[in-house]
Chain A
Amino acid sequence: MPDPSHSSPPPRLEMHDISKRFGATVALDGVSLRVHAGEVLALVGENGAGKSTLMKVLSGAHQPDSGQMRLDGQPFAPTNPLEARQAGIAMIYQELSLAPHLSVEENILLGMEPNCWGWIRRAQVRQRATAALRQLAHAEIRPDRKVGQLPVAAQQLVEIARALAVGCRILVLDEPTSSLTRQDVRRLFELIQQLKQRGLAIVYISHFLEEVKEVSDRIAVLRDGRTVGEGPTNELSVDRIVALMVGREVRDLYPRSTRTPGEVLLEISELAGASIPVSASLALRRGEVLGIAGLMGAGRTELLRCVFGLEAVCRGQIKVGVHVGPASPVRRWAQGVGLLSEDRKQEGLALSLSIADNVTLSRLTGLGPGGLVLPRRQAQATRRWIDRLDIHCTGPGQSVSSLSGGNQQKVALARLLQHGVDVLLLDEPTRGIDVAAKATIYQLVNELAVGSAAEGRAPKGVLLVSSYLPELMGICDRVAVMCRGNLGPAHPVSEIDEHALMLEATGQEIIT
């Protein structure tokens, strides 16, 4: 233990030798961590490495089996989240925790409203909320707006304002940028720098290593419940971090076998939706991966949803093989088109059902005599994909809700494979999942596009929407950019670079 009588102040937070096990699994195995005031510590690691368990210990949701925590030198052992919050620990999760029906100011002061015999002092509420928002240099957020009507970026700011209003000492940001546009990410990073200068200690958790490199002062890498590396950000390269995360050097993260494009599987011409997309044309061939880049809100997701019949098409034509005519998910599945939703928790998966039920959901035929669905046959069919996609689970009967994000995504993908679709519409397939799962998915996409003559698998066509440019450049054959509802021409990846894609995605606007 460090001696607190030293002249330098003790670290804002010190976690020492924290261990936590759940039954037989060791989630944390003696993790030590320290964060100083005015410092941004990035915490990286694959899903399941123990990041979230560690943060749950910090926020009082879990109690460690052994180890101590000190907050500004004082012993700190919260028994519930409320206690930790009052001690100054603020957690901002990817899924924001706000009351959507309350106004901005009510959310900021929720649970500590200034009042007189239960009657709220509204002038004070307004004043304190405005002050908190001003601290963030975001006075443009009106305190009387309902939070549910604000864009995600503004909602996130409201949560940060709430943390400041409670007087937080440590701000934990868990994947804060995954649903932000690039401009909003910029503003968030500026804000983080400001908060840092004001003496907050910030723990930043992210899968986007470029962001981590940019925003953090120090990086700690977790793997299998242990700290496997720690150091100043400028001394760790991305390659080194990835190597620490996965425990081996990752080469060929983006595999690419020789692909030979065949006939056109999906042809879209001059497609327009209700408000977005405005105009989109493309042709996807068998045996190719076509990427769609663009900013959040450019209409990429809506384009896929129009194709799949989930949103109304106002103009234009969609041709799947020889089929034209109206679209609906039922028809698309029958025509051999499958969609992987960007929102796997709400839409992509039935979380409370088993892996087998989820994988076979779109096609329950052929799983027993006379249209019956036999659980044994379901499990049999599913086991094949569990092996092929390396889904970490106890078996086909395990509930999907208990899987990690990466494994959930593999289950969602397995449904498309089980259905045997020819055209895969993948919407942000690697969002919020760990590097190993990403690698599996990249490899799978490559295998699908190449096919296998030996096993009698024909190549497939993959239409892939992603916000992560290195990934698009890595696995696609061609990339088209969508900007404000308009889809540009598809460029072969050999003829374009990330910089050019980003310029096209931002249109005329020049972002700093």
Chain B
Amino acid sequence: MKSEVRSPKSGIARSVAWAEWLNRLGPLLGLGIVFLLFALIGPESFRSARNLETIARQTTIVGMGALGMTLIIIAGGIDLSVGSIVALGTVVIAWCLNRGGEVPHPLAAAAVAVAACAGCGLANGLLITRLRVVPFIVTLGTMLLVRGAAKGLSREQKIDAPETWLNELLASLPPERRWLIVPAGVWLLIAMSLLVALVLRFTRLGRHTFAVGSNEQTARLCGVPVDRVKLAIYSLGGLFGGLAGVMQFSRLTVGDPTVAVGLELDVIAAVVIGGGSLSGGEGSVLGSLVGALIMSVIRSGCSQMGLPNWVQEIITGIIIIIAVALDRLRRSRATA
């Protein structure tokens, strides 16, 4: 801006901009610290390229779900049905692959699964906007509902599926394809993250998502189609749940209606560690991915060090609380 008035306040403005950057980089800094810690005290194998690839693969399922959850949480909502949607996704893929005739069509199967999951998300959105019931309750209901549907579709059993390239999406890379650096599924996550980040920053839908989460009444008064925004983001939440389901299927190679129980909490934790606010208006794609990575690094680091499962859980819990507490501290500084 050329016409900007230089005043003594520009010093304050600069320090505010600084604080904003620090806010944005906070989670990244946390990731660096956790990683360095394990790199220093953990075994040699933690730092190996193999292990880094494993961490990336393990982050993909939660990360994919976190993309949708980031949108939903920014808009001031919540989606507890993600875990169930992921399970439904795996079941639908396996079901389709078994019914695809002689030659299975993996892409079609995945597309059907993702569409089904996006439909579940749309249903969430419709219930929330039409019935005017709070998202927590609606998605608590659909969490059970979708899980039940997945179990019904699979007759409460794991569904075996013929082997297709879907299984390789998240599998460790064979030596001849090392040039890919990470498996295709991880690349898909990276591409989707970029897309969501761009949508959030540069489109009407993105800015309206922030507006709805920040002050819904104002958004409505200004002519933001609040209900349509909500329908869109809950559908996207379902869609990314479906993609997470594809990744989960790749890892399991079977359709399992009992998988991903409690995954929604990991996904929410990733968004919150990454700076998302459950009261809406705040959150970022980068932050959520970093949040998911922090949890995977802890998991990997602990298991490499031979620490039992319960230690990982305690550490992850502590990290979540510290992350949110630090966030509040930063904010109270910023307003003071």
A residues sitting closer than 8 Å to B (CB atoms) are 81-82, 85-86, 97-102, 106, 110-113, 115, 118-120, 122, 130, 139-140, 142-143, 145, 149, 162, 275
Q: Are B222 and A100 in contact (CB under 8 A)?
A: no
Q: Are A82 and B3 in contact (CB under 8 A)?
A: no
Measured CA separation A86–B16 after assembly (Å)? 35
B205 contacts A by Cβ under 8 Å: yes
Q: Are B214 and A99 in contact (CB under 8 A)?
A: yes
Instruction: Looking at the assembled complex, report how far the CB atom of A126 sits from the nearest CB atom of chain B, in whole angstroms.
Output: 8
Query: For residue A101, which residues in chain B have a CB less than 8 angstroms away from its CB?
Result: 210, 213-214, 280-282
Instruction: Looking at the assembled complex, report how far the CB atom of A311 sits from the nearest CB atom of chain B, in whole angstroms.
Output: 11
Q: Are A99 and B215 in contact (CB under 8 A)?
A: yes
Query: For residue B16, which residues in chain A have a CB less than 8 angstroms away from its CB?
Result: 149
The answer to whether A115 and B203 touch (CB under 8 A), given A82-B220, A99-B218, is yes
- Per a CB cutoff under 8 Å, which of B1, B13, B217 touches A97? B217
Measured CA separation A110–B13 after assembly (Å)? 24
- Contacts A100-B215, A110-B218 known; 10 new A-B pairs at CB < 8 A: A85-B221, A97-B217, A101-B282, A106-B210, A115-B204, A119-B202, A130-B3, A139-B5, A140-B4, A162-B222
The answer to whether A111 and B1 touch (CB under 8 A), given A100-B214, A101-B213, A118-B204, is no
Measured CA separation A112–B7 after assembly (Å)? 32
Measured CA separation A139–B210 after assembly (Å)? 25
> What is the chain A residue whose CB lies nearest that of B6?
A140
- Per a CB cutoff under 8 Å, which of A98, A120, A140, A143 touches B218? A98
Q: Are A111 and B223 in contact (CB under 8 A)?
A: yes
The answer to whether A97 and B207 touch (CB under 8 A), given A122-B202, A139-B3, A139-B5, is no
Query: For residue A111, which residues in chain B have a CB less than 8 angstroms away from its CB?
Result: 219, 222-224
> What is the chain B residue whose CB lies nearest that of A134?
B3
Q: Are A120 and B202 in contact (CB under 8 A)?
A: yes
Q: Are A102 and B202 in contact (CB under 8 A)?
A: no
Instruction: Looking at the assembled complex, report how far the CB atom of B165 sits from the nearest CB atom of chain A, in whole angstroms.
Output: 33
Instruction: Looking at the assembled complex, report how far the CB atom of A506 sits from the nearest CB atom of chain B, in whole angstroms.
Output: 19
> What is the chain B residue whose CB lies nearest that of A125?
B207
Instruction: Looking at the assembled complex, report how far the CB atom of A413 sits from the nearest CB atom of chain B, in whole angstroms.
Output: 29
Q: Are A140 and B211 in contact (CB under 8 A)?
A: no
Q: Are B203 and A100 in contact (CB under 8 A)?
A: no
> What is the chain A residue whose CB lies nearest that of B74?
A101
Measured CA separation A86–B203 after assembly (Å)? 23
Q: Are B203 and A110 in contact (CB under 8 A)?
A: no
> What is the chain B residue whose CB lies nearest that of A84?
B221
Query: For residue B281, which residues in chain A have a CB less than 8 angstroms away from its CB?
Result: 99-101
A-B contact pairs, 28 of them (CB 8 A): A85-B221, A86-B223, A97-B217, A97-B218, A97-B221, A98-B218, A99-B218, A101-B210, A101-B214, A102-B207, A102-B214, A106-B210, A106-B211, A110-B207, A110-B211, A110-B222, A111-B224, A112-B223, A118-B204, A120-B202, A120-B207, A139-B3, A139-B5, A140-B7, A142-B13, A143-B1, A149-B16, A162-B222
Q: Are A102 and B1 in contact (CB under 8 A)?
A: no
Q: Are B202 and A113 in contact (CB under 8 A)?
A: no
Q: Are B214 and A82 in contact (CB under 8 A)?
A: no
Instruction: Looking at the assembled complex, report how far the CB atom of B132 sits from the nearest CB atom of chain A, in whole angstroms.
Output: 16
Interface size for B (C-beta < 8 A) is 30
Q: Are A110 and B219 in contact (CB under 8 A)?
A: yes
B49 contacts A by Cβ under 8 Å: no
B336 contacts A by Cβ under 8 Å: yes
Q: Are B204 and A120 in contact (CB under 8 A)?
A: yes
- Give B106-141 as 1s and 0s: 1 = Cβ < 8 Å from A's Cβ atoms: 000000000000000000000000000000000000
Query: For residue B221, which residues in chain A have a CB less than 8 angstroms away from its CB?
Result: 81-82, 85, 97
Interface residues of B in 175-228 (CB under 8 A from A): 202-205, 207, 210-211, 213-215, 217-224
Query: For residue B211, which residues in chain A have a CB less than 8 angstroms away from its CB?
Result: 99, 102, 106, 110
- Per a CB cutoff under 8 Å, which of A106, A112, A120 touches B203? A120
State the majority secondary structure of interface residues on A. loop
Q: Are A99 and B219 in contact (CB under 8 A)?
A: yes
- Per a CB cutoff under 8 Å, which of A112, A140, A149, A275 touches B5? A140
Determine which residue in A82, A122, A143, A275 has the highest number of CB atoms from chain B within 10 A of its CB, and name it. A82
Instruction: Looking at the assembled complex, report how far the CB atom of B70 sits from the nearest CB atom of chain A, in whole angstroms.
Output: 14
Query: For residue A130, which residues in chain B have a CB less than 8 angstroms away from its CB?
Result: 1, 3
Query: For residue B203, which residues in chain A have a CB less than 8 angstroms away from its CB?
Result: 115, 118-120
Query: For residue A149, which residues in chain B have a CB less than 8 angstroms away from its CB?
Result: 16, 334
Query: For residue B1, which residues in chain A have a CB less than 8 angstroms away from its CB?
Result: 130, 142-143
- Per a CB cutoff under 8 Å, which of B219, B223, B334 touches A85? B223
Interface residues of B in 280-301 (CB under 8 A from A): 280-282
Query: For residue B334, which residues in chain A have a CB less than 8 angstroms away from its CB?
Result: 149
Query: For residue B5, which residues in chain A have a CB less than 8 angstroms away from its CB?
Result: 139-140
Instruction: List the 6 closest A-B pairs by CB distance, nearest first.
Output: A111-B222, A101-B281, A111-B223, A99-B214, A101-B214, A110-B222
- Per a CB cutoff under 8 Å, which of A113, A143, A162 touches B207? A113
Instruction: Looking at the assembled complex, report how far the CB atom of A329 sits from the nearest CB atom of chain B, in whole angstroms.
Output: 19
Q: Are A102 and B204 in contact (CB under 8 A)?
A: no
Q: Are B224 and A110 in contact (CB under 8 A)?
A: yes
> What is the chain A residue whose CB lies nearest that of B5?
A140
Q: Are A113 and B210 in contact (CB under 8 A)?
A: no
Determine which residue in A86, A97, A122 has the highest number of CB atoms from chain B within 10 A of its CB, and name it. A97
Query: For residue B220, which residues in chain A have a CB less than 8 angstroms away from its CB?
Result: 81-82
Measured CA separation A140–B3 after assembly (Å)? 8
Instruction: Looking at the assembled complex, report how far the CB atom of B308 sits from the nearest CB atom of chain A, in whole angstroms.
Output: 41
Measured CA separation A120–B205 after assembly (Å)? 9
The answer to whether A113 and B218 touch (CB under 8 A), given A82-B223, A101-B210, A142-B13, is no
> What is the chain B residue whose CB lies nearest that of A146?
B20
- Per a CB cutoff under 8 Å, which of A81, A85, A113, A142 touches B4? A142
Instruction: Looking at the assembled complex, report how far the CB atom of A154 sits from the nearest CB atom of chain B, in whole angstroms.
Output: 11
Instruction: Looking at the assembled complex, report how far the CB atom of B221 sits from the nearest CB atom of chain A, in whole angstroms.
Output: 5
Measured CA separation A149–B1 after assembly (Å)? 19
Q: Are B205 and A118 in contact (CB under 8 A)?
A: yes
Determine which residue in B3, B203, B221 has the highest number of CB atoms from chain A within 10 A of its CB, and name it. B221
Measured CA separation A212–B77 after assembly (Å)? 43
Instruction: Looking at the assembled complex, report how far the CB atom of A145 sits from the nearest CB atom of chain B, in whole angstroms.
Output: 8
Query: For residue B336, which residues in chain A have a CB less than 8 angstroms away from its CB?
Result: 275
Measured CA separation A122–B280 after assembly (Å)? 23
Query: For residue B7, which residues in chain A have a CB less than 8 angstroms away from its CB?
Result: 140
Query: For residue A118, which residues in chain B have a CB less than 8 angstroms away from its CB?
Result: 203-205
Query: For residue A122, which residues in chain B have a CB less than 8 angstroms away from its CB?
Result: 202
- Give B1-41 as 1s and 0s: 1 = Cβ < 8 Å from A's Cβ atoms: 10111010000010010000000000000000000000000
Measured CA separation A145–B14 after assembly (Å)? 11
> What is the chain A residue whose CB lies nearest that of B206?
A120
Instruction: Looking at the assembled complex, report how far the CB atom of B1 sits from the nearest CB atom of chain A, in whole angstroms.
Output: 7
The answer to whether A106 and B202 touch (CB under 8 A), given A97-B218, A99-B214, is no
Instruction: Looking at the assembled complex, report how far the CB atom of B269 sits from the nearest CB atom of chain A, in whole angstroms.
Output: 21
Query: For residue A85, which residues in chain B have a CB less than 8 angstroms away from its CB?
Result: 221-223
> What is the chain A residue whose CB lies nearest that of B16?
A149
Measured CA separation A145–B1 after assembly (Å)? 13
Measured CA separation A99–B219 after assembly (Å)? 8
Measured CA separation A108–B336 after assembly (Å)? 26
Measured CA separation A113–B207 after assembly (Å)? 9
Q: Are B204 and A113 in contact (CB under 8 A)?
A: yes
Measured CA separation A97–B217 after assembly (Å)? 8
Instruction: Looking at the assembled complex, report how far the CB atom of B198 sits from the nearest CB atom of chain A, in whole angstroms.
Output: 9
Measured CA separation A145–B214 after assembly (Å)? 15
